[in-house]
Amino acid sequence: MAKLLAGKVAVVTGSTQGLGAAIATLYVKEGAKVVLTGRSAADGKAVAKRLGRNAIFEETDLVRVDDCRRLIDVALKRFAQVDILVNNAVDATRATVDDVTPEIFDGIFALNLRAPLLLAHHAIKSLRKGRGVIINIGSINAFMGEPRLLVYAASKGALVTASRSLANYLKFDRVRVYCVNCGWMDTEGERAMMKHLGHPPDFID
């Protein structure tokens, strides 16, 4: 049976652990070549090693504008195309109206909104050529406004709107754009955050 993503190249941000690593794992299983990326070289190299020759890791900090361009350049240099862009990297720093700072605001919006749009900008020529797809990982917090996620929720609301605009702009190029608004997930990052916030080790139960 033919694999669903045979011959495709995917860039998956925030793929050193959690949801991003799960997406990358499925894509490789379905025949894609995958560019993994994140801030942790140790975690990224471990995932790439586990996935084998069809996965490479590029250490990036997508808050940095230059790293957004470099990531796409690496994908094109190694695999000659980008067919799928998954914007999964996220800053979910907790903040209320009482404790939010300009630094928290700028950091969250830089990663959660600016980076996906810059990556799409740099990859768009290849995405158009291959009639590719952009998958933005949103959040139900775009619609519900959990009080400790003030800026995070705002950034995801903006990503939903941006995704609609991208979809309408690119529809005649046959580039599909999705925004998947997930609920809370039991990931390594969220467990670390919950521990930091003082939740007991058995909070999942």
pLDDT averaged per 10 residues, the chain (length 205):
93 95 98 96 96 97 98 98 98 94 98 98 98 97 90 97 98 98 78 73 77
- Find tokens 């860039």 and name the residue: 11
Catalytic position from the list 27, 152, 169, 178: 152
Coil, strand or helix at 8: coil
pLDDT on residue 198: 75
Report the residue count for the chain: 205
Q: How many whole angstroms separate alpha carbon 122 and alpha carbon 128? A: 11
Q: 6 exposed, middle or buried (CB, 10 Å; 0-12, 13-18, 19+)?
A: exposed
pLDDT on residue 177: 98
Give the chain's count of helices (H) and strands (E): 8, 6
Active site residue 27: no
pLDDT on residue 201: 76
Q: How many whole angstroms separate alpha carbon 29 and alpha carbon 8? A: 12
Look at residues 53, 85, 55, 41 and name the one whose alpha carbon lies nearest to residue 178. 85
